[in-house]
Amino acid sequence: MKTLSQKLAPNGPKKILALDGGGIRGALSLGYLKHVEDILRKQHNNPKLLLSDYFDMIGGTSTGSIIATLLALGWEVDDIKDMYFKLGKKIFGKKYKWWKIFEIDDAFKAKYDHAALVEQLQNILGDTKLGDQEKIRTALVIVAKRADTNSVWPLNNHPKGKFYDSGHGNNKDIPLWQCVRASAAAPTYFLPQSIEVGGENGFAAFVDGGVSMANNPALQMLMVATLKGFPYHWPMGEDNILLVSIGTGMTRWKKMPKQITKSHLLNWAANLPDMFMQDASWQNQQVLQWMSNSPTAFEIDAEVTALGDDILSDEPGRKKGLISYLRYNLFIDTKDLNERFKPSKPFTEADVESLSAMDNAENCQQLYDLGFKAGEQEVRAVHFPAGFMV
């Protein structure tokens, strides 16, 4: 297996795993990841193969950053699943009490007590830091949003990074639990996270990375891997980069025109974040489909369809993309779920509303099962070419 230094180096084919944000719906991602892990173990004839053995870069946003960090530390999917179910019930269990004097101020700022989230992350990640080259087995990218400068921060562990260990900042010394907490500081759910970033910046205030164009972090991670301003400098090419992106479930926007025209300010305020996040994810996916000849491509825009005839390439006239790209996700919608899985008890609108919530920890098992069933249908061994084997 490759060492961390070999994975960080620019030579050889590279594999990137990007995990979306979505609160407790990260359980759905784990269902997909179980199939990816199983397929790669069979492909390599190694029942103990870890996703950190296969992928050179693993990263995520919000809940995706929790799962990504554990994968990068060498956890198996089953172990993450067991931990995640317990974690979800604890961090989404204690709400602030508006009638308690000492919690009134925080109760108006966030729904849940962040102390439970901090405690659990500290228990799981201990004193491991972002720059721990012995414990972290892959390039790790944790996507957070710096609220005080309104900028996306892809915290990563490359020792040649500008902010890793220099006068600009000392990211290597940030505890992993703080990095993850920063990425998962979803506004209205948890209070922002303050981190000492060093250099001239001192302390920085972070909110959930999902409050940006990178709730789906796949495009951001590709930029980290390839742009000259970042330290990786991995070469583009269909045979050079395999980008695997996994979602946390999508909802369909079903509001009728009359409902929209009658909406008032509070309705718009409640719906705008979801609208922006969906738009950002669709845009990211469309750009990545444009850059690739993806076997998982699907129609996002009816006018340009799945972009099968519009592949960006450095070889004009050939259908060879700039990357290899896979996207796994499913719609959390009554029509889609019932037609796709044909359950004995059909999904109702109430079921879908509950499953779509980002903070209902009681849904962990059902969300995992949906991701597992969808992965059974979608994830294929041929999606992982021999040229990208370890």
Which positions are catalytic?
62, 208
Closest CA to 55 of 63, 87, 44: 44
Query: What interhelical angle do 63-72 and 26-43 show, nearest 10?
Result: 30
Which residues lie below 8 Å from residue 303, measured CB to CB, with a gap of 6+?
none
Task: Report the Cα 143 to chain-centroid distance in Å.
Answer: 8
Identify the residue whose tokens are 């025109």.
257
Cα–Cα distance between 162 and 127 in angstroms, integer?
Answer: 23
Q: How far apart are CA 158 and CA 72, in angstroms?
A: 13
Under DSSP, is residue 362 helix (H, G, I), strand (E, B) or coil? helix
Q: Strands 241-246 and 14-19, how do they pair? A: parallel
**Residue that is written with structure tokens 């209205």 in the block:** 188
Across-strand partners of 129? 175
Range list of β-strands (E), 159-230: 193-198, 202-207
Q: What DSSP element (H or E) covers 115? A: helix 114-125
**CA–CA separation, 109 vs 107, rounded Å?**
5
Rounded to 5°, angle at Cα 71 from 160 and 297? 90
What is the DSSP secondary-structure string of 116-152? Answer: HHHHHHHHHHTT-BTT-TTT--SEEEEEEEETTTTEE
Identify each DSSP E strand in the chain by its residue range: 14-19, 57-61, 139-146, 151-156, 193-198, 202-207, 241-246, 324-328
Q: To 10 degrees, the CA torsion angle through 47, 50, 54, 59?
A: 150
- Distance, CA of 55 to CA of 57 (rounded, Å): 6
Q: What's the CA gap between 35 and 38, in Å, rounded?
A: 5
Distance from the first to the final alpha carbon of the chain:
7
